[in-house]
Structure 1
Amino acid sequence: MSRDYQQFPDDDNGNVLWQMAEDGDDLTVAHEIEYSIAFKNQETAEKCALFLLNEEQKISLFQDEETDEWFITIYVYMEPDYSDIVDLEEWFTKIGTEYNGEYDGWGCMAYVYDDEDEDLDTEQPA
């Protein structure tokens, strides 16, 4: 299979999506993609979490015990399409900045099936 740089540009997002496709993941099927925003303190993380909930986003909020940072994970059920991922990254970056947070990337479970259709889940971070 030859890489289509229109569909899989040569950057982090394109490389992860290309690797998922190369591994046999069906990118035309919706996945639950997890986007993360990091915060230095609980108060700003909670304010951002309330904003995202008001935007009808499915989220989780937790504190990393090692770094004491707070993280919001936003769960978006979507087909892993490059332009849609980039658009959401821009939106979450803007929101993170407005609440003194920092966008921290995305990831999702890749569903790869071998010849016997056995599920071989692997995590694909970006």
Structure 2
Amino acid sequence: MTRDFDQFPDDENGNVLWQMAEDGDDLTEAHEIEFSIAFQTEEQAQKCALYLLKEEQKISLFEDEEADTVEWIITIYVYMEPEYSDIVDLEEWFTKIATQYGGEYDGWGCMAYVYEDEDWENEVKS
């Protein structure tokens, strides 16, 4: 498969989406994409979480005790087709919100949905 740089631009997001496509992930199917915002204090994270809930976002909030310093992480779950321009738009929005509440946007990720034909046939037969 040849990379279409209009669909998969040569930047971090384009590279991740291209790798997903190369790995056989069907990018025309909706995925639950997780966007993260990190905060130094629980109070900042709670204020941001409340704002996101009022914006009807599905979120989780937890304390990351494994980080070098204590951090509070908000994960925003967006069910969507992983399309480059939509991801960029959401990153810009979450970056603005993070800044507004004293946090830092920390990226996105999602589970890959890759089925080998043989695996699919076995799963269907089960």
Please report the TM-score for the alignment, with normalisation by the length of structure 1. 0.92
- What is the CA deviation profile of residues 5-61 of structure 1, one whole-angstrom value per residue up to 9, with x for unaligned ones? 000000010000000000110000000000000000000000000000000000000
1:86 equivalent in structure 2: 88
Q: Which has the higher helix share?
A: 2
* Structure 1: unaligned runs, 5 residues or longer: 119-126
Output the CA distance in 1 between the equivalents of 2:91 and 2:27: 18
- Number of residue pairs matched? 118
Alignment partner of 1:110: what SS?
coil
Which amino acid letter does the alignment assign opposite residue 100 of structure 1?
Answer: G
| Pair member with larger Rg | 2
Output the CA distance in 2 between the equivalents of 1:66 and 1:2: 40
Output the CA distance in 1 between the equivalents of 2:118 and 2:97: 43
Please report the TM-score for the alignment, with normalisation by the length of structure 2. 0.92
1:23 equivalent in structure 2: 23
Offset of residue 114 of structure 1? 1.0
Superposition RMSD on alpha carbons, in Å?
0.7
* Structure 2: unaligned runs, 5 residues or longer: 121-126
Which runs of at least 4 in structure 1 moved beyond 2 Å after TM superposition?
A: none
